[in-house]
Amino acid sequence: MRVLISKPQIELRIAELAREISRDYGGQSITLLGVLNGSLMFLADLVRQLDLPSRIGFVQATSYRGATTTPGELDVNPGLVPDVRGRQVLLLDDILDSGVTLTTLKQRVWALEPASLKVAVLLRKRGRQQVPFEPDYCGFEIPNVFVVGYGMDYNDEYRPLPYVAELP
């Protein structure tokens, strides 16, 4: 596998994002809402560096199943979402690919009546968006390749890698 983003690059960028997010929220309490399972590493590293009071929740949304590198129908399980009514919410996902998942999730979270809702993604894949979507925070832009590591998987493998790599 070819490493696209090294562990030191990820650590540095997450520290930068944490400073930016902390500054933007100005000490307000936020709820980090991670999209399972891919955002787990990103969320864990980011929350430890935020200088903000925060709560953590999760939403499960899957479009890749088994040994596939192309998305299928989106399945959303909101059962893990905490009460976000009137709260500042930051939705975190591992990757902005087609934009369908994040557009759908943003609509569903807005329906829960948060005070505000922003989106952070670790990766944005160039040339793949099917619907217009602009994240509020983005770690890295990557080419249109299938990636694994740092929470992202192929057939439930490679998630624990400390870097992001292109799957051949």
Q: Is 156 a catalytic residue?
A: no
What is the rounded distance in angstroms from the CA atom of residue 96 to the CA atom of residue 8?
22
Given 97, 136, 153, 156, which residue is catalytic? 97
Neighbours of 155 (CB within 10 A): 12
What is the rounded distance in angstroms from the CA atom of residue 148 to the CA atom of residue 24?
30
Taking CA atoms, 28 is separated from 17, 22, 43, 57, in Å, by: 16, 9, 18, 17
Helices (H), 50-156: 100-110
Which residues does the annotation mark as catalytic? 97
